[in-house]
């Protein structure tokens, strides 16, 4: 961040709150040294200069540096591929009997085993889409993140594809554009549609749940739930730090009722009562299939014992919840923005304490606390042996 940008943000914060510059700078310094290791830009993104939270509540917020420490504590490096590769994840979920999107084909030059057909050339993919695909379909890289490259294809006619955003592209041009640098391939899946009650508000594109379970000594508990509210015009419901136009909603864990909705981050963040496109009310809306989705996550969490605090994405569809992916941790940005509450609250620290992990949070990473593998934890895996 440039000095000019910092001074501009400080001035805006002072004008909005009446707090003196020295008070703001002192607070930024204290939060940077706290367990969440918040950076300057994160301080303003979370609007922590405002007066509605006390210092103890602000210290519960976590920045990307603090998230890196949490991942070092909570994530078994040996297990990461299970979350990185979506084909592996879906195969595992299917084996355990969880609902997943149908996958009629895999576009991949490597001879990877897959539940559907393997298409190894752009020509083979084009022939499948033109002759055998049941539209709409959804293509996404098996090795990818943040929805990058994910594309909904809704129709084919006269050698052209119609994409989810209305764009028309020549079929071979589209197929040749799908780069596979990882060698893991592209999944060709059914294009899921939102539950009709959700579609009435947000459109038919998926608006999924982000669920953070924690594997504790006494079993799995749900720490955070966020509803990713699709603007209604996008193939992905990712928030992208407020730049996508999609929204985030805080959801009551007991009822599945929406209690807060935000769009954007920082000084320009706004709270919404209704969907900006449909005009339908968001506050008070009860998510269909909510409790069933949480039950799936509680059970699914134990399939990944190396990830103590996972980040699940679950689509809420007419046929019920459908598992989209399990991140080895997820992103603290989503729950903190939607709830205006820090990830490192008392409940989370108690979960860490029960596993004798809380002591790794405070202060800078100390070499004395590192294992021989360089991790903050004592060993590379978290299950007992």
The answer on 321 and 297 residing in a single domain is yes
Q: Are 362 and 35 in contact (CB under 8 A)?
A: yes
Any residues with CB less than 8 A from the CB of 204 and at least 6 apart, and which? 193, 194
Give the residue carrying structure tokens 């903190």: 336
What pLDDT is stored for residue 144 in this prediction?
Answer: 82
The answer on 227 and 155 residing in a single domain is no
CB atoms within 10 A of CB 95: 9
The answer on 67 and 54 residing in a single domain is yes
- Give the structural domain span for 65: 3-74+341-362
Query: What total of structural domains would you count in the chain?
Result: 3
Domain assignment of residue 373, yes or no: no
The answer on 323 and 244 residing in a single domain is yes
The answer on 250 and 228 residing in a single domain is yes
- Of the residues 165, 190, 215, the one at which a domain ends: 190
Domain assignment of residue 55, yes or no: yes
Domain assignment of residue 381, yes or no: no
The answer on 177 and 207 residing in a single domain is no
| Res. 239 pLDDT band, cuts 50 70 90 | very high
Pick from 116, 339, 241: nearest CA to 347: 339
pLDDT, tens only, 207-231: 999 999 999 988 999 999 999 999 9
Pick from 91, 104, 107, 100: nearest CA to 184: 107
The answer on 82 and 218 residing in a single domain is yes
The pLDDT > 70 percentage for the chain reads: 94
The answer on 161 and 245 residing in a single domain is no
The answer on 119 and 201 residing in a single domain is no
The answer on 266 and 145 residing in a single domain is no
| Res. 381 pLDDT band, cuts 50 70 90 | low
Domain assignment of residue 372, yes or no: no
Domain assignment of residue 237, yes or no: yes
State in Å, rounded, how far the first CA of the chain is from the last one: 46
Is 380 a residue whose pLDDT tops 80?
no
pTM: 0.92
CB atoms within 10 A of CB 337: 26
What pLDDT is stored for residue 368 in this prediction?
Answer: 45
pLDDT, tens only, 254-299: 999 999 999 999 999 999 999 999 999 999 999 999 999 999 999 9
The DSSP code for 120 is -
The answer on 221 and 89 residing in a single domain is yes
**Which element (helix H / strand E) includes 109?**
none
Domain assignment of residue 376, yes or no: no
The CATH number covering residue 218 comes to 3.30.470.20
State how far the alpha carbon of 355 is from the alpha carbons of 132, 219, 352, in Å. Answer: 51, 12, 5
Domain assignment of residue 229, yes or no: yes
């Amino acid at each position: 961040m440039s000095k000019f940008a910092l001074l501009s943000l400080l001035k805006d914060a002072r004008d909005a709150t009446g707090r003196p510059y020295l008070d703001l700078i002192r607070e930024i310094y204290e939060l940077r040294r706290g367990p969440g290791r918040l950076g300057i830009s994160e301080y303003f993104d979370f609007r922590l200069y405002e007066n509605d939270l006390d210092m103890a509540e602000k210290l519960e917020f976590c920045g990307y540096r603090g998230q890196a420490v949490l991942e070092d504590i909570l994530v078994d490096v040996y297990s990461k591929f299970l979350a990185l590769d979506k084909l592996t994840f879906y195969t595992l979920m299917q084996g355990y009997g969880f609902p997943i999107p149908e996958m009629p084909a895999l576009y991949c030059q490597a001879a990877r085993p897959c539940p559907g057909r393997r298409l190894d050339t752009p020509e083979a993919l084009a022939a499948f889409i033109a002759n055998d695909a049941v539209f709409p379909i959804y293509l996404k890289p098996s090795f990818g993140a943040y929805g990058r490259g994910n594309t909904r294809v809704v129709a084919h006619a006269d050698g052209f594809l119609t994409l989810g955003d209305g764009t028309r592209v020549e079929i071979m041009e589209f197929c040749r554009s799908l780069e596979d640098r990882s060698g893991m391939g592209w999944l060709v899946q059914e294009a899921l549609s939102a539950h009709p009650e959700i579609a009435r508000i947000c459109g038919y594109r998926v608006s999924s749940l982000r669920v953070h379970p924690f594997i504790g000594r006494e079993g799995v508990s749900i720490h955070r739930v966020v509803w990713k509210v699709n603007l209604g015009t996008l193939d992905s419901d990712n928030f992208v730090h407020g730049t996508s136009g999609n929204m985030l909603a805080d959801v009551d864990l007991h009822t599945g009722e929406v209690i807060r909705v935000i769009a954007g981050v920082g000084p320009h963040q706004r709270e919404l009562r209704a969907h900006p496109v449909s005009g339908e009310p968001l506050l008070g809306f009860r998510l269909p299939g909510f409790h069933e989705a949480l039950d799936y996550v509680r059970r699914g969490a134990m399939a990944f014992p190396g990830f103590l605090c996972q980040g699940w994405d679950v689509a809420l569809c007419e046929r019920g919840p459908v598992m989209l992916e399990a991140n080895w941790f997820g992103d603290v940005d989503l729950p903190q923005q939607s709830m205006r509450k820090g990830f490192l609250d008392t409940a989370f620290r108690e979960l860490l304490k029960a596993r004798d992990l809380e002591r790794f949070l405070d202060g800078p990473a100390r070499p004395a606390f590192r294992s021989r593998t360089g991790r903050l934890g004592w060993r590379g895996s978290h299950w007992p042996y």
